[in-house]
């Protein structure tokens, strides 16, 4: 690993197997993702052919116990895997995050033993892809505004409503859907692809996350049997617990995108000449490069410490909010600076920076917008909710 | 069924920025990362492919300090079954002769059919240990192999030579060293990385191998590194301007008269 990408020897804070996981995902991304992702992004296509390869690598549900098909990875090893995936593309990391930290985690945490054994091994193997339906057209940062309803019937439940901005939506074989029961309490359901009344439509107008599938889930009187209800769910908090898992992965993931941009900017400015010298010999360039390095290093340290806290069972959700909030902004700034240093070349997808930059606009908004994390921290500091 | 031994070495990461240590005989290890020698990675991959096709076992042998266990675990995660680590401090500071002697003691008489190794380690680029090991074992060896076929008791190996290729057939047991192009090494799967932590890595001392302290490491070495210097920096190149035909003429002239290479 180049010293540039590890200025403060994060390397030494990792266990050997955590380094090995990082290195193996890095090789996968270099070999399988980097050569094709620019074109896939431009075409607006998710590279589906990578699904079996990602599954074989063991990147779906890797933190789960072996009995469910996982590898029992530590939080840091998982974080390093997310970092390396997002070094390739935020869309690919999002795909893996949704599968592992949202869909699989929801089933593992809030499902019963039968549901775990039925779904998780096949999801680890990539035979079943999951998505997570919480956000709605009119309920984003305030998910309690959700209008998707679950009505009890003699045989089970009937779901009606629309979910929006659902990563993997049309790809998924199973959707974890959150809906309000008649009492107003939020419940979790498993809805399978092809069930009567359940359809999806994709959003094709994105200028960000173009190598990722984003869908609406339309639930028009979908009948859900009792064994497709997540019995452990205790209201909206259960859904939010899944978001904490996903945000943890994002805090690491975006560091990968930032590292990729920094490397690209350094490579480019070392070679590109202007006024008789490489760009890198200019003070204006060096200031930007130093700022990028400082941001990358700060983000790495926040992420690693968060991983240590999670491993020790001491991590709190506001700590996750802080790391998600800061690291995405650091990565976004690094990507913007790199894009700028690359000049006209930087506006093409021949280089990665603009792709990362556009993707990170999504990452800044999803999984708790920047402002939501600000208010979570504000509430934690003052004891006063200001949402 | 093939019982294969693979010799591996841990070397500085190819991306690490190296500097010479104060004593001018070693590189500064502080602050750099280490990896499984890339040529050895080809050897491990070839061994695993042979095992997958023909059955058998793959045992990794590694001479190196405690940190080298990470390179061993990489080979185990790729699919090797077990490992022997010559980690004792007494093995340190040796030369190619002591390395080959210690590996021979560890490997001989264990009914291995084949020893695979990288054609050289990228740190000292000496490329001697594989051949010396074969000599000590009394086995045939083929170096810098780009293709290998093993059938029954015969191994047929392709080597690239200047302007062509050579095919060498040897009878097993034999030692084969791997050149780039032999295969594309797999990256370990995450579950296999975790399982590799539980695989056996036997730590052996010189005494375990029937060697005295004077026969291994720095004490047994016949040569020692007297000095190490970084490569001199390259000066700026020359740009020949003008029409292509004129420029080509000038380049040829300079190559003949100034550089005296043609």
Domain ranges of chain B: 2-220, 235-262
Mutation site, B68, B189, B190, B191, interface A, largest A CB count within 10 A: B190
To the nearest whole Å, the CA of B36 is away from the closest chain A CA by 11
Reply yes or no on whether the pLDDT at A1 is more than 60: no
Please list, in sequence order, all residues whose beta carbon lies within 8 angstroms of the beta carbon of residue B134, skipping any fewer than 6 positions away.
B115, B140, B141, B174, B175
Share of chain B above pLDDT 90, in %: 77
pLDDT of residue B14: 87
Helices A283-311 and A75-88, packing angle to 10 deg: 150
Reply yes or no on whether the pLDDT at A282 is more than 80: yes
Element (H, E) at B154: strand B154-161
Give the largest CA-CA distance in chain B: 71
- Asked if residue B206 lies in contact with residue B213, where contact means CB atoms within 8 angstroms, the answer is yes
* Residue pLDDT, tens place only, B74-127: 999 999 999 999 999 999 999 999 999 999 999 999 999 999 999 999 999 999
Residue A345 contacts B, CB cutoff 8 Å: no
Element (H, E) at B132: helix B129-137
To the nearest whole Å, the CA of B231 is away from the closest chain A CA by 19
Residue A193 contacts B, CB cutoff 8 Å: no
A367 is annotated as an active-site residue? yes
A131 Ramachandran zone, left/alpha/beta (phi>0; psi -120 to 50): beta
User: Number of CB pairs < 8 Å for A and B?
Assistant: 61
Establish whether the linkage from the previous residue to B180 is cis, with ω within 30° of 0.
no
**CA geometry: angle at A334 spanning A330 and A336, to 5°?**
120
List the single range of A116-120, A162-166, A308-312, B10-14 with lowest mean pLDDT: B10-14
* Residue pLDDT, tens place only, B146-195: 999 999 999 999 998 988 999 999 999 999 999 999 999 999 999 999 99
- Residues on chain B touching A23 (C-beta within 8 angstroms): 35, 187
Element (H, E) at A192: strand A186-192
Q: What is the mean pLDDT of residues A79-85?
A: 98
Distance CA B13, CA A342 (A): 28
Phi, psi of B145 (to 5 degrees): -90, 135
Reply yes or no on whether the pLDDT at A2 is more than 70: no
Level-2 CATH architecture, domain B2-220: 3-Layer(aba) Sandwich (3.40)
Reply yes or no on whether the pLDDT at B206 is more than 90: yes
**Distance from the Cα of residue A52 to its chain's centroid:** 19
Distance CA A98, CA B77 (A): 27
Q: Which residue has the tokens 């999670």?
A: A310
For B80, the 3-state DSSP assignment is coil
Mutation site, A11, A17, A88, interface B, largest B CB count within 10 A: A17
pLDDT of residue B78: 98
Share of chain B above pLDDT 70, in %: 100
* A224 bridge partner residues: A157
Closest in B35, B189, B194 to A72, CB measured: B194
Phi, psi of B178 (to 5 degrees): -95, 135
Please list, in sequence order, all residues whose beta carbon lies within 8 angstroms of the beta carbon of residue A188, skipping any fewer than 6 positions away.
A106, A110, A176, A177, A178, A229, A230, A233, A238, A239
Reply yes or no on whether the pLDDT at A251 is more than 90: yes
Q: Which residue has the tokens 């740190």?
A: B123
* B256 bridge partner residues: none
């Amino acid at each position: 690993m180049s010293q540039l990408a590890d200025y403060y020897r994060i390397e030494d804070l990792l266990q050997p197997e955590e380094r090995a996981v990082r290195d193996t995902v890095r090789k996968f991304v270099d070999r399988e993702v980097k050569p094709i992702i620019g074109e896939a992004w431009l075409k607006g296509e998710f590279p589906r052919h990578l699904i079996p390869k990602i599954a074989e690598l063991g990147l779906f549900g890797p933190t789960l116990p072996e009995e469910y098909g996982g590898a029992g990875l530590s939080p840091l090893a998982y974080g390093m895997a997310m970092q390396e995936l997002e070094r390739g593309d935020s869309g690919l990391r999002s795909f893996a995050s949704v599968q592992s930290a949202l869909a699989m985690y929801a089933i593992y945490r809030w499902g019963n033993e039968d549901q775990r054994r039925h779904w998780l091994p096949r999801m680890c193997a990539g035979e079943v892809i999951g998505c997570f339906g919480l956000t709605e057209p009119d309920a984003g940062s305030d998910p309690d505004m959700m209008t998707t309803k679950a009505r009890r019937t003699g045989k089970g439940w009937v779901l009606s409503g629309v979910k929006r901005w659902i990563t993997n939506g049309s790809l998924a074989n199973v959707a974890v859907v959150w809906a309000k029961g008649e009492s107003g309490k939020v419940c979790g359901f498993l809805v399978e692809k092809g069930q009567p009344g359940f359809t999806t439509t994709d959003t094709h107008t994105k200028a960000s996350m173009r190598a990722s599938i984003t869908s609406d889930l339309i639930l028009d009187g979908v009948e859900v049997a009792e064994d497709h209800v997540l019995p452990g769910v205790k209201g909206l908090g259960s859904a939010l617990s899944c978001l904490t898992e996903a945000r943890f992965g994002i805090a690491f993931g975006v560091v990968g995108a930032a590292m990729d941009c920094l490397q690209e900017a350094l490579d480019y400015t070392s070679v590109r000449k202007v006024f008789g010298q490489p760009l890198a010999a200019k003070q204006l360039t060096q200031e930007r490069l130093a700022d990028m390095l400082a941001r990358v290093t700060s983000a790495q340290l926040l992420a690693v410490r968060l991983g240590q806290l999670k491993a020790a069972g001491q991590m709190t959700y506001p700590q996750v909010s802080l790391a998600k909030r800061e690291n995405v902004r650091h990565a976004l700034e690094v990507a913007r600076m790199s894009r700028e240093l690359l000049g006209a070349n930087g506006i093409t997808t021949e280089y990665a920076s603009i792709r990362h930059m556009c993707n990170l606009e999504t990452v800044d908004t999803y999984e708790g917008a920047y402002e939501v994390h600000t208010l979570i921290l504000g509430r934690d500091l003052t004891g006063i909710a200001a949402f | 069924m093939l019982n294969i031994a693979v010799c591996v070495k841990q070397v500085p990461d190819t991306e690490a920025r190296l500097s010479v240590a104060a004593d001018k005989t070693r590189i500064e290890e502080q602050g750099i990362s280490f990896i499984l020698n890339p040529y050895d990675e080809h050897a491990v991959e070839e061994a695993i492919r042979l095992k997958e096709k023909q059955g058998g076992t793959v045992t990794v042998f590694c001479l190196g300090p405690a940190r080298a266990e990470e390179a061993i675990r990489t080979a185990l995660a790729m699919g090797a079954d077990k490992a022997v680590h010559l980690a004792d401090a007494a093995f340190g500071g040796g030369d190619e002769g002591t390395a080959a002697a210690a590996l021979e003691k560890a490997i001989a008489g264990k009914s291995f059919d084949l020893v695979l190794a990288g054609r050289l380690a990228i740190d000292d680029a000496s490329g001697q240990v594989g051949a010396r090991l074969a000599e000590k074992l009394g086995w045939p060896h083929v170096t810098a192999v780009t293709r290998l076929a093993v059938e029954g008791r015969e191994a047929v190996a392709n080597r690239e030579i200047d302007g062509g290729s050579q095919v060498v057939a040897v009878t097993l047991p034999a030692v084969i060293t791997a050149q780039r192009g032999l295969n594309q090494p797999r990256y370990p799967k995450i579950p296999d990385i975790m399982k590799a932590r539980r695989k056996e890595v036997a730590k052996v001392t010189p005494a375990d191998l029937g060697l005295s302290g004077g026969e291994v490491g720095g004490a047994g070495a016949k040569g020692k590194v007297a000095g190490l210097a970084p490569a001199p920096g390259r000066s700026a190149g020359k740009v020949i301007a003008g029409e292509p035909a004129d420029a080509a003429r000038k380049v040829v002239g300079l190559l003949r008269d100034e550089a005296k290479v043609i």
